[in-house]
Structure 1
């Protein structure tokens, strides 16, 4: 006979379900995404040090067991969310010129870095990374990989158009492309960019890349 039983898997909402085959736990994707979103909100509100599983669960509208079914600790939860940033990626510009590609990249990146949540989370996790090598590795991957992928494609397209010489040093190119805007938006945390700043930055960076 079939036995129906009530399970509190994910705890929101509670309902009667059949037991999963072979005892496997069924983790609802919408609950997982709600928890991930709650992590960003909690980090922005209280920072990593004061963040708690209880607070995350409350924001996500689930019980603590729903969080612990997916991640065994606060650290593992944050590492997963931060690492996921690396695969989100930025759109690769295709304007037909190096300066135009850089200008579009800077516009998109500037909006992302100045977002209220990102502007709170990134500096806080950077401070925590100085004390925690696991977070440091995850932060480096999340911040570097996305930018590196886009920057390398911008430079490759510029090489094909003959705007830069073949074989430009990829690490130096990444530093030139990503460094100035990151410095202003994250390190200095300038709320407002001067008028024409992104256009001037794109022009200067394009000139520097062509001089390599």
Structure 2
């Protein structure tokens, strides 16, 4: 009788991973990070806990991995050919992201949890925020190459400037936005960036 071959590692099905991803963020938005459990995510996703543990060994690893994957994917910085166009597109993209109900509920909780959970803070800073800043640096370097900004610009301060006002308005104060908000904020951001170049 021929011997059966040993089974290899289970193949991770992408549709199951997508279901878990959706379930994680919906459950996080509903319950907050502290109350988030593997059991609740599995139930919402319609899978067993084993399906999650095959992918990630812990809640922290699951959250860190999916935050990185989704966060980086949502942070594309366009190349429009001009600094004004790039800034306007970046701000519009940030606004679109921050208007999502799940994002508006999760982000404040994420930042609060980063204060309580150093491992989560380290992951977000080393993966998501670093990637976002790298993409912002690419935008600034294109502007330098086109002669729109001085190479002497304080890049760290410039990166802090880009997007910070949108975040403050949408997440912290929750104030409504006028129809010309992006246009006015683009002009203000451009002025600030050029001021940093002098």
Q: TM-score, normalised by structure 2?
A: 0.88
1:195 and 2:195 matched: no
Q: How far apart are the structure 2 equivalents of 1:70 and 1:76? A: 9
After superposition, the Cα gap between the structure-2 partners of 1:150 and 1:26, relative to the gap in structure 1 and judged at 3 Å, is closer
Query: What's the offset of the Cα at 1:102?
Result: 0.6
Structure whose CA Rg is larger: 1
Query: What's the offset of the Cα at 1:131?
Result: 0.6
Query: What's the offset of the Cα at 1:97?
Result: 2.1
The equivalent position to 1:210 in structure 2, one of 180, 194, 197, is 194
CA contact (8 A) 2:86 2:139 kept: yes
- 1:38 is paired with a residue whose SS is helix
The equivalent position to 1:175 in structure 2, one of 141, 160, 169, is 160
CA contact (8 A) 2:68 2:128 kept: no
Q: TM-score, normalised by structure 1?
A: 0.82
How many residues align? The count is 196
The equivalent position to 2:117 in structure 1, one of 122, 132, 141, is 132
Q: How far apart are the structure 1 equivalents of 2:105 and 2:161? A: 25
- 2:162 is paired with a residue whose SS is helix
1:144 equivalent in structure 2: 129
Gaps of 5+ in 1: 5-17
Q: CA RMSD in A?
A: 2.2
- 2:116 is paired with a residue whose SS is coil
1:8 equivalent in structure 2: none
Moved over 3 A (4+): 1-4
Query: What's the offset of the Cα at 1:163?
Result: 1.4
CA contact (8 A) 1:44 1:121 kept: yes
1:44 equivalent in structure 2: 29
The equivalent position to 2:54 in structure 1, one of 69, 74, 90, is 69
CA contact (8 A) 1:99 1:202 kept: yes
Q: How far apart are the structure 2 equivalents of 1:206 and 1:157? A: 14
Q: How far apart are the structure 2 equivalents of 1:198 and 1:68? A: 43
Q: Bigger CA drift: 62-71 or 121-130? A: 62-71
